[in-house]
A and B are shown apart, each in its own frame.
Chain A
Amino acid sequence: MADQSLSGLTEQQAKEFHEQFKVTYTAFVGLAALAHLFVIAANPWW
């Protein structure tokens, strides 16, 4: 029980999950950036 991580995930599982997390997060940031560009085009807030 000593070498288990706090979350219970192995190093392999953590790295594997993080790869997917990065992809999904990048897509989220991309979509948010696109939405902001539409708002800037339609109605700039400055």
Chain B
Amino acid sequence: MSDVAKPKNPEDDWKIWLVVNPATWLMPIFFALLVLAIAVHWVVFAVGLGWQ
């Protein structure tokens, strides 16, 4: 098992697209990012850090 090449990042970052097909997953990734951004803003406003 030790002869398996160790990944080197960020040089090997592009290889993610050999596993995840962006034609299928780019928009779901963007929607997940949108949900995360909404959640973070929700919490920030909920704890009273919003504009007042």
- Interfacial residues, chain A to chain B (CB-CB below 8 A): 5-9, 11, 13-15, 17-18, 21, 42-43, 45
Contact = CB atoms under 8 A, between A and B. Distances in A.
A3 to B, nearest CB: 11
The secondary structure that dominates the B interface is: helix
Given A7-B22, A18-B13, A45-B49, 17 more contacts: A6-B19, A7-B18, A7-B21, A8-B21, A9-B18, A9-B21, A9-B22, A11-B18, A13-B17, A14-B14, A14-B17, A14-B18, A17-B14, A17-B17, A21-B22, A42-B51, A43-B51
What is the interface residue range for chain B against chain A?
10 to 19
A11 B20 CA distance: 13
A11 B19 CA distance: 11
Interface in B13-30: 13-22
